[in-house]
Amino acid sequence: MGWSSWNTYRVNINDSLIRKQVDAMVSSGLKDYGYEYINVDDGFFGFRDSVGKMHAHPLRFPRGMKSIADHIHSLGLKAGLYSDAGSVTCGSIWDKDPEGIGAGLYGHEFQDAELYFSDWGFDFIKIDYCGAGQELDLDEKERYSFIKSAIDSCGRDDIDINICRWAFPGTWASDIASSWRISGDITDSWPSIRKIIEKNLPLSAYCRDSHFNDMDMLEIGRSLSESEERVHFGLWCIMSSPLLIGCDLTSIPVKSLELLKNTELIAINQDSLALQAYPVQKSDGAWVLVKDIIEKRSNKRAVALYNSTDTLRRIAVALKDLELDGLVIIHDLFNHRDSVVDSDSLIRTVPPRDVLIYKVEAQRRVDPVIYEAEWAYLPMFNDLGKRRKEIRYAENNEASAGFVVANGGGQFGNSIIWQDVFSSDGGDYDLSVFYFPVENRGLEVIVNGISIDLSRSLETKGNETIITLPVKLNKGYNHVMLTCRTMWMPDIDKIQLVRR
């Protein structure tokens, strides 16, 4: 949680501007609500001297960057900085800032890390990829791993790293960074907000162990409508994205400031479980998302009813699909009011480009029956688009929640894994796999290490098909994997588990 300079100012930053934003973070009261990082993005670079040491821009930051970090720290805040994994920064390419040429980390990793974190005292770094990707086409995992080793050499264990590769970079990212961007740069527009949400909908499996999918900086307080801002902030909160404000804090509109101070939404974002909400239903441009809060498998959850369209949508979701039963009390996190759901469904009409977000408490939590493919962890997944047939989450309007997993299989590790398949009592179940038939496909189901090869039983033509097999689940959490060691798998929609 904090503020970053890029959205509003890009490379046009200076000492006075940053200090005003730091002071406004405190005077506006945002610090008291948990916003603590002040991140100086691209534009502070000056020049490298004869030994390669980076110096701040002499006109923009005449007192140097340590002075900025010291001022941030003096107010009880944390200081963030920017660089690129390559030799040139994004500002040098897109904003024609000549000082960004040669300012990236490439070739200066250990030297810059020592300067930025030991000498200047910064606590966070966003590492872009324009110089490493657009210019040099370097390997992402190798670059970020080497940079991480340089940062580790500083001897600090409190430095947060953000990978800014503009797409989910790969499951290796969690070994390097606390967050990673999953999309291109956000803009101050509704299409940008909607697109980023759609990019993140199937990525909940990678938000775990205090590592997060970064949906980019907030455009709250600029030109979005009130309902668009509710969607923007509300979905960023329930999907556990970092909350980095991008507007001018000295002139933020009152309504926008009130939204950013919504303690109940912030609590959902900062919940100790640190989980990302996942989609349980899609219908005609309307989505239902849900996640556990406070304690896993408790009767308290957070739910979002999100209308991405330009017309009213009636959203009805069965309580059993939210894993809830009995009397359900819902607390509206925008209006701060309680109501009761006394039927078997939560039904609301949601205005266009708007969202309703609730904290819900039910009498009972029930075991899930359906596990969508887009909830699964894919060990070999990335969204870089460098290979023709990478495993991916693909939109499919015939799938139950709008996505399938495509291009799985071909080798054992290219699998689909549900790591938290839950049974209250354990026992005998029928496991059904919902898939879309294609010729020359294979499928192996592995439940808690026990493998069943279904390749010879698969249909090769037709509409969505179901194949069912008996399995035994342990009490508590179970591990279910779909894979194929020698062929591609069919596109997988979901699995279903029904007690026998």
Catalytic positions: 128, 185
Please give the backbone phi and psi of residue 130, each rounded to the nearest 5 degrees, phi first.
-60, -50
CA–CA distance, 216 with 416 (Å, rounded to integer): 27
Is residue 485 packed enough to be buried (19+ CB in 10 Å), middle (13-18) or exposed (0-12)? Answer: middle
CA–CA distance, 433 with 431 (Å, rounded to integer): 7
H-run or E-run covering 146:
helix 140-152
Could you tell me which of 465, 495, 464, 493 has the C-alpha nearest to residue 406?
A: 493
Could you tell me which of 401, 182, 192, 180 has the C-alpha nearest to residue 278?
A: 401
User: Helix, strand, or coil here: 319?
Assistant: helix
3-state secondary structure labels for all residues of 223-236: CCCHHHHHHHHHHH
Is residue 158 packed enough to be buried (19+ CB in 10 Å), middle (13-18) or exposed (0-12)? Answer: exposed
Tally of CA atoms within 13 A in the half-sphere of 276 that contains its CB: 28
DSSP 8-state assignment for residue 256: H
CA–CA distance, 401 with 448 (Å, rounded to integer): 26
DSSP 8-state assignment for residue 130: I
Which amino acid is residue 396, in one-letter code? N
CA-to-CA separations, 189 to 130, 164, 291, 353, 491, in angstroms, rounded: 23, 20, 27, 12, 33
Judge contact between 415 and 467, C-beta under 8 A. Answer: no
Judge contact between 333 and 359, C-beta under 8 A. Answer: yes
Which amino acid is residue 83, in one-letter code? S
Judge contact between 490 and 464, C-beta under 8 A. Answer: no
CA–CA distance, 170 with 206 (Å, rounded to integer): 10
DSSP 8-state assignment for residue 134: I
H-run or E-run covering 125:
strand 124-128
Please give the backbone phi and psi of residue 433, each rounded to the nearest 5 degrees, phi first.
-105, 125
Please give the backbone phi and psi of residue 103, each rounded to the nearest 5 degrees, phi first.
-90, -10
